[in-house]
Amino acid sequence: MAERRLDCDVAVVGAGPAGLSAARAAASAGARVVLLDPQPRPGGQVWRNDVMHGMPARSLALQAALRASPDTTLLMRSEAVAAMKGTLFVHVDGDAVELHHAALVLATGARELLLPFPGWTLPGVTGAGGAQALAKQGWPLRGKRVLLAGTGPLLLAAGNTLRAHGAQVLAILEQAPLAEVAAFAAGLWRWPGKARQAAAIRAALWRTPYRCNSHVLRAFGEDRLRAVQVSLDGAIETVECDQLACGFGLVPNVELAQSLGCELAYDGAHPRVMVDDWQRSSVEGVLAAGEACGIGGLDCAEVEGAIAGHVAVAALDAARALWPRRRRARRFAADLQRRFALGDHVRALADDDTILCRCEDVPLSAIPEHMQGREAKLATRCGMGACQGRVCGTALAELRRVRRGGLRPPVFPVSLEVLAGFGQDDPANPSPGVAK
Ligand SMILES: Cc1cc2nc3c(=O)[nH]c(=O)nc-3n(C[C@H](O)[C@H](O)[C@H](O)COP(=O)(O)OP(=O)(O)OC[C@H]3O[C@@H](n4cnc5c(N)ncnc54)[C@H](O)[C@@H]3O)c2cc1C
């Protein structure tokens, strides 16, 4: 990439459903749009390209519309590592690029919440969404015995993907009580599309037991996972398996918004970007959409992205027309969050010897309770590794052990060479994180 500087009307960070919809809405008004994402192809989490089954038609249609729009640039393999008012600092495949914009839409999505339990760092134990992503990217699963555990419909979606890639899905363990899951299912008639989707997935997994009030206790194995001890509605059993995929929910990615000074709100232990009816954050010119504004799923992401894209180009009537759709999508999300709320028992699975920070090998016992995230880093090195606390810091916050701190830019690890490349075309404009 030759240019070190790009200019546009609307910059969109994240090419998931929210970002694609935002870019499409802004481009339809003739704006110059730049959409960026670290993945090789657009789609985000739910529309990730599947090497065996391709991408959903809806994602392909959005991408085709963007590629046909002459003033839209898709920057893949590109991540925003820092931001200042009007400028994003983007790492593009080894190069430093400054993206100057009039409006910014943050559609940075969510990551999985991974909760610790004895054995959770063994090879063979992954997140449920992580296992799904690996399968879509061609990870060999044929004949592997996989157990899924945790909470929420993502377990079913992931189980279905793993099955479609040849895995033998032994069981799905849902921590929520049967009464909550049944009440959720009984209310699905209000969202017929979701009901059809749920029925289709359950039918595809008809051989797979789905056990409520059940959860993992510990994983066993020397060099890799061999077996998992589980609680099945109170009865303790050991299940031999090759893979364990655990999904305890999702957590919004707010680091870039936080570094811009956007106000955050807390859902339990985890922050989300606060937005108004127009998807505007508290910082002028910065909008946010999708999971970054609170876990809501695909429908929320699409409609909020479209609203943000319209608002970014001042197409307020088009944005307002989408409010009822957003209300409906958020209602579904709220019901889902309530019914699949985590029980305290799954926050208490780790023992003192359980490794909390796998990057720095820090056990739970080394981390005193009620610390700030930064203190925990300084005192124990917990959160100092490659994930920068995205896994351990998030888990500790969920365990109510450490209060989550903000991340300093760069929000993703980046080489000093790239970091030093920022600001080189404009000496008045300092590079983020590099003293001049
Ligand atoms: C691992 C995982 C698997 C999931 N699987 C399913 C599923 O099967 N079915 C389902 O209904 N829902 C699934 N979800 C839920 C999913 O989050 C939503 O359904 C939907 O993808 C949300 O869309 P979004 O655009 O808000 O976020 P996402 O789809 O997460 O897209 C956000 C994008 O932002 C990019 N990004 C983040 N930070 C930066 C940055 N600094 N610079 C550049 N780009 C950045 C990310 O790479 C990502 O592509 C999954 C979630 C996760 C975390």
> Cis peptide leading into 410, omega within 30 of 0?
yes
**Residue 18, pLDDT score:** 98
For atom 15 of ligand 1, which residue has the closest CA?
297
Write the pLDDT tens digit of every residue in 325-351: 999 999 999 999 999 999 999 999 999
Q: Which of 12, 13, 34, 46 to mutate to test ligand 1, by most ligand atoms within 8 A of the CB atom?
A: 46
Distance 34 CA to ligand 1 centre (A): 18
Q: How does the average pLDDT of the chain come out, rounded?
A: 93
Write the pLDDT tens digit of every residue in 111-140: 999 999 999 999 999 999 999 999 999 999
For atom 12 of ligand 1, which residue has the closest CA?
46
Comparing 110 with 365, which gets the higher pLDDT? 110
CA dihedral 148, 149, 154, 158 (to 10 degrees): -10
Percentages (nearest 5) of helix, strand, coil residues in the chain:
35, 25, 40
Is residue 2 predicted with pLDDT exceeding 70? no
Would you say the CATH fold of 116-247 matches that of 5-111+251-321? yes
Q: Which of 108, 194, 275, 332 to mutate to test ligand 1, by most ligand atoms within 8 A of the CB atom?
A: 108
Write the pLDDT tens digit of every residue in 304-324: 999 999 999 999 999 999 999
- What's the Cα-to-Cα distance from 222 to each of 88, 123, 127, 219, 230, rounded to whole Å? 45, 10, 20, 10, 18
Q: Which of 12, 45, 92 to mutate to test ligand 1, by most ligand atoms within 8 A of the CB atom?
A: 45
Measured from the Cα of 132, ligand 1's closest atom is: 3
Is residue 365 predicted with pLDDT exceeding 70? yes
Distance 144 CA to ligand 1 centre (A): 26
Measured from the Cα of 291, ligand 1's closest atom is: 26
List all residues whose CB is within 6 A of at least one atom of ligand 1.
13-19, 36-39, 44-46, 79-80, 107-112, 129-130, 132-133, 154, 157, 250, 253, 256, 290-291, 297-298, 301, 411
Write the pLDDT tens digit of every residue in 148-175: 999 999 999 999 999 999 999 999 999 9
| Range of weakest confidence among 160-164, 204-208, 403-407 | 403-407
The pair of structure tokens assigned to 405 is 């701190």
CATH architecture of 116-247: 3-Layer(bba) Sandwich (3.50)
**Class of the CATH-defined domain 5-111+251-321:** alpha beta
pLDDT band at 202 (very low <50, low <70, confident <90, very high): very high
For atom 6 of ligand 1, which residue has the closest CA?
46
Proportion of the chain above pLDDT 70, given as a percent: 96
For atom 34 of ligand 1, which residue has the closest CA?
14
Write the pLDDT tens digit of every residue in 251-296: 999 999 999 999 999 988 999 999 999 999 999 999 999 999 999 9
pTM for the model: 0.94
Beta carbons of 266 and 293 less than 8 angstroms apart: no
The pair of structure tokens assigned to 386 is 């490659």
Is residue 433 predicted with pLDDT exceeding 70? no
Distance 46 CA to ligand 1 centre (A): 6
**Residue 428, pLDDT score:** 52
**Cα–Cα distance between 321 and 18 in angstroms, integer?**
17
DSSP string of 196-256, one letter each residue: HHHHHHHHHTTTS-EESSEEEEEEE-SSS--EEEEEETTEEEEEE-SEEEEE--EEE--HH
Domain boundaries, the chain: 5-111+251-321, 116-247, 344-403
Proportion of the chain above pLDDT 90, given as a percent: 80
| Range of weakest confidence among 110-124, 174-188, 369-383 | 369-383
Q: Read off φ and ψ for residue 89, nearest 5 degrees.
A: -105, 115
Beta carbons of 181 and 174 less than 8 angstroms apart: yes
**Residue 427, pLDDT score:** 47
Beta carbons of 63 and 42 less than 8 angstroms apart: yes
Distance 138 CA to ligand 1 centre (A): 19
**Residue 423, pLDDT score:** 77
**Residue 425, pLDDT score:** 60
